[in-house]
Homo-oligomer: A and B are copies of this chain.
Amino acid sequence: MATRRFHSPGDADLAGLYRDLAAKDLQPLWELSGLLTPTPRTKAVPYRWSGKELRELGQRAGDLVPVGRGGDRRVLSLSNPGLNGSPYATATLWGAVQYLGPGETAPAHRHTPAALRFVLDGAGVWTLVNGDPLSMEAGDLILTPSWTWHEHHNPGSTPMTWFDALDLPLVEALESVFFEPGHESAAATEVRTRSLSERRYGGGPGLLPNDGAPAPAAHSPLLRYPWHATDRALDLQLADAQGNAARTGHACLRFADPTNGRDVMPTMRCQMHRYLPGHTAPAMRRTGSSLAAVFRGSGAVLLNGVRYDVAPGDLVAVPSWTSVAVIAEESVDLFTVSDAPVLEALALYREEAVPDRVTSEPAPTRRY
């Protein structure tokens, strides 16, 4: 097979071939490099945004910019320094903080990118999803799934800042973004004390309504996961001396569709972690990216061995195949959202424990 003879690469023939290929919108594979790498290559970099700064900047935006000005939302989007100025936090995830002042309303719209809200602080705001009012309080997870109408109301006297995550970069990569603005109809000004969603699906673990066939949906019919239940479930895990959580000092919940146990939405996995001081959970790396929001506690996150101190409200971007470990100085409650369901559905999910490479240096303020 090696007996055929080829022209040397500098030939005029070869140059002519390359010229003709380009003219025909073709490229020679053998001149391309870096297409197939031994392990994933990422453009996004590991990064942390300060909660303190996010709150301050959100407040300043609240003072200066009306909520309705462009995009219907007063949102500060995380712009990963590796992504050349794009407003995306990772390759597949949009992350942001949203600020809603007293008396303000973010009007209804819907879009195919799915969204979720994790409340970092406060209470008294309501998100309406297809008209069903979901109370937003600190620690709550609120879903606004793909193509559902949603709007936010703050009828109270204090502003709220929360964490938004969307699968927008993914849906854009799949060329599947649809958007529709809501009607100008007056939004509901009074809201019920509990959503229909919670009345039907929030009664208790393994207790499902039986009144006829549910409308099949791609997402969880339970749209609010209140903090008090999440908090108690973490405690329960840790309270059993025989359990894995108690053994390692690391409790972890996956937020699930109560009707089938699948992830709450087909593109995003939500989890709540509680790391006790001295826990022994190993550093892990996974295909696909994630965002973490520090809810309570303090300590540090190690990303590929680089230490980032964290405090409540901090947001962290974790690109694919980046090793992640958590150091808990006091008990750390960490909310994470990832594209793991996508990777799993496409049989591309891999994870592995990695030896920790802790450095004593602080993280660079900007790593690119």
Q: Residues of A at under 8 Å CB distance from B?
A: 1, 3-4, 6-7, 9, 11, 13-14, 17, 20-21, 24-33, 35-42, 47, 49-50, 53-54, 57, 60-61, 63-66, 69-71, 73-81, 87, 91-92, 96, 101, 103-105, 111-113, 146, 168, 170-171, 173-180, 194, 196, 198-212, 218-220, 222, 225, 229-230, 232-234, 236-237, 239-240, 242-245, 252-261, 264, 266-267, 271, 287-289, 319-321, 339, 342-343, 345-348, 350, 366
Least CB distance from A185 to B in Å reads 14
**Inside 8 A of A7's CB, which chain B residues have their CB?**
63-64
Are B261 and A113 closer than 8 Å at their CB atoms? no
Least CB distance from A181 to B in Å reads 9
The oligomer's copy count stands at: 4
**Inside 8 A of A266's CB, which chain B residues have their CB?**
345-347
Shortest 8 CB-CB distances between A and B: which pairs?
A203-B233, A175-B320, A204-B229, A218-B347, A30-B70, A29-B75, A36-B179, A210-B252
Residue of B13, B207, B232 touching A256 (CB-CB under 8 A): B207
Least CB distance from A31 to B in Å reads 7
Are A42 and B175 closer than 8 Å at their CB atoms? yes
In the complex the two chains form, what is the Cα distance from A75 to B26 in whole Å? 10
Pairs A–B under 8 Å by Cβ, sample size 8 = A4-B66, A27-B87, A29-B70, A173-B173, A201-B206, A207-B230, A210-B254, A260-B261
In the complex the two chains form, what is the Cα distance from A229 to B178 in whole Å? 40
In the complex the two chains form, what is the Cα distance from A212 to B205 in whole Å? 20
In the complex the two chains form, what is the Cα distance from A347 to B105 in whole Å? 29
Are A30 and B196 closer than 8 Å at their CB atoms? no
Least CB distance from A8 to B in Å reads 10
Are A26 and B49 closer than 8 Å at their CB atoms? yes
Are B101 and A40 closer than 8 Å at their CB atoms? no
